[in-house]
Amino acid sequence: MTIFKFALLRIVRNPLAILLGVLIPLGLLLISAMWEEGGRGYYWIAFTLMLGAFPLTRGLQTDMRERTVMRIASTPTTTFSYLWQNLFASLLPLIVQIIFICGFGMIRYDWSLEVAGMLGVLYVLFAMTAIGFAYAWAFLTKKMEGETGSAVMMTILIFTTMFGIIMPVDQLSGWQETAGMAFPTYWISIGIEELLSVGGFSTDMLLPMGILALFTIIFLLYGSKRGAY
Rank 59-68, 125-134, 141-150 by mean pLDDT and report only the highest.
Answer: 125-134
Residues of the chain above pLDDT 90, percent: 35
| Confidence band, pLDDT 50/70/90 cuts, at residue 142 | low
In the DSSP assignment, the letter for residue 111 is: -
In the DSSP assignment, the letter for residue 163 is: B
Choice among 33-37, 87-91, 151-155, 222-226 with the minimum mean pLDDT: 222-226
Alpha carbon distance 147, 158 (integer Å): 16
Alpha carbon distance 62, 55 (integer Å): 12
Distance of CA 84 to the CA centre of its chain: 14
Q: What is the pLDDT of residue 229?
A: 47
Residue with more model confidence, 206 or 139:
206
Number of domains forming the structure of the chain = 1
Spell out the SS3 assignment of 17-75.
HHHHHHHHHHHHHCCHHHHCCCCCHHHHHHHHHHHHHHHHCHHHHHHHHCCHHHHHHCC
Q: What is the pLDDT of residue 202?
A: 92
Picking from 88, 89, 102, the residue whose alpha carbon sits closest to that of residue 25 is 102
Task: Give me the chain's average pLDDT, please.
Answer: 83
Query: pLDDT by residue (tens digit) across 59-116?
Result: 777 766 666 666 666 666 677 777 888 888 889 989 999 999 999 999 999 999 999 9
Mean pLDDT within 156-175? 84
Expressed as residue numbers, the domain containing 18 is 2-226
Q: What is the pLDDT of residue 56?
A: 79
Alpha carbon distance 46, 127 (integer Å): 8
Q: Is 183 helix (H, G, I), strand (E, B) or coil?
A: coil
Q: What is the pLDDT of residue 78?
A: 73
pTM (two decimals)? 0.89
